[in-house]
Amino acid sequence: MRLLIQRVSEASVTIDGKIKSSIGKGLLVFLGIEDNDNEEDIDFLCKKTVNLRIFDDENGVMNKSVLETDGEILVISQFTLHASTKKGNRPSYIRAAKPDISVPLYVKFCEKLIHTLGKSIKTGYFGADMKVALINDGPVTIWIDSKNRE
Instruction: Identify the bridge partners of residue 36 per DSSP, sorted by sequence position.
Output: none
Amino acid (1-letter code) at residue 74:
L
Cα 118 to Cα 113: distance, rounded to the nearest angstrom: 8
Share above pLDDT 90 across residues of the chain, in percent, rounded to a whole number: 92
Is 69 an active-site residue?
Answer: no
pLDDT at 73: 98
Asked if the model's pLDDT at residue 150 lies above 80, the reply is no
Amino acid (1-letter code) at residue 143:
W
Cα 135 to Cα 71: distance, rounded to the nearest angstrom: 14
Q: Phi first, then psi: give them for residue 57, nearest 5 degrees.
A: -90, -170
pLDDT at 105: 97
Model pTM greater than 0.85? yes
Nearest to 56 by CA among 143, 138, 130: 138
Q: Phi first, then psi: give them for residue 111, nearest 5 degrees.
A: -60, -45
Q: Which of 80, 116, 123, 141 is catalytic?
A: 80
pLDDT digits 0-9 by tens, 82-131: 998 999 999 999 889 999 999 999 999 999 999 999 999 999 999 899 99
pLDDT digits 0-9 by tens, 26-84: 999 999 999 999 999 999 999 999 999 999 999 999 999 999 999 999 999 999 999 98
pLDDT at 149: 83
pLDDT at 43: 97
Assigned superfamily of 2-145: D-tyrosyl-tRNA(Tyr) deacylase (3.50.80.10)
Q: Phi first, then psi: give them for residue 93, nearest 5 degrees.
A: -115, 25
